[in-house]
A = this chain, B = another copy of it.
């Protein structure tokens, strides 16, 4: 049934997303002694995989719901994804953003047609502002990662990856809110041939690692990581999927993230955001364990502030 949902989801969103490239580097392969391919969701519309989940979630709404629009609170890629997906489908997207959000992100959401409400930069204020919009407009709230339609949509990147490389043994994915790794794990389970899914997570925000260890959703007390997309925690919908289908989470240090990121810029000649480098850093850290395996790394996005590159 999940496999049918994934397949239906993929054909549903296909007209609205890019089938992104899968690339590799001979030099990286030689350097680490593993054949690794990179699925480039940095080339996805609006620059990240989140376009997939946002599009699917909106398309699954009833006509009445669509007429009323959608709401989310986010200062990152999901705000942009929901805005662009909504405007492609000609519906309204209300985006709650903290008044501390960088101008570049505010402009991006505006550029994609999102209707922005600002709030104080606290979780409480965000929820309040969203509830207020829902009260006024009857719009539907869509969570960035803890929503089954978002998870299924995100999983389509791995379906495409396995179409191109059916023989994959392992897919590395960054883990933040859990929406990408949960979708990837479902796709790998139903479309792969014993294909494992491994999460990469910064030590500084290792809530998902601890959640798997302790069997309950854990949170981060501090979020001192360059991987700004991975500061969030898991949710009750994606956590059971991750428990069932994710084989392992490998934690990495900040300097390992920066060094993996630089290697990708230098060798693959692509622009990625720090969160995307975390999955590759995890592979680099434990590379001896993956000798002779067919490995893929899912590059989650490329929306980075070029004035603040860590090199």
Contact = CB atoms under 8 A, between A and B. Distances in A.
Interface string A251-272: 0000000000010011001111
A43 B302 contact: no
Contacts of A262: 306
Contacts of A40: 269
A311 B306 CA distance: 7
Copies of this protein, total: 2
A306 B266 contact: yes
B269 A42 contact: yes
A271 B269 CA distance: 5
Interface residues of A, number: 20
A264 to B, nearest CB: 9
A285 B21 CA distance: 30
Contacts of A307: 311
Contact of A306 (B21, B23, B265, B272): B265
Interface of A: 21, 23, 26, 40, 42-43, 45, 47, 262, 265-266, 269-272, 302, 306-307, 309, 311
8 contacts: A23-B43, A40-B269, A43-B269, A265-B306, A266-B271, A269-B302, A271-B271, A307-B311
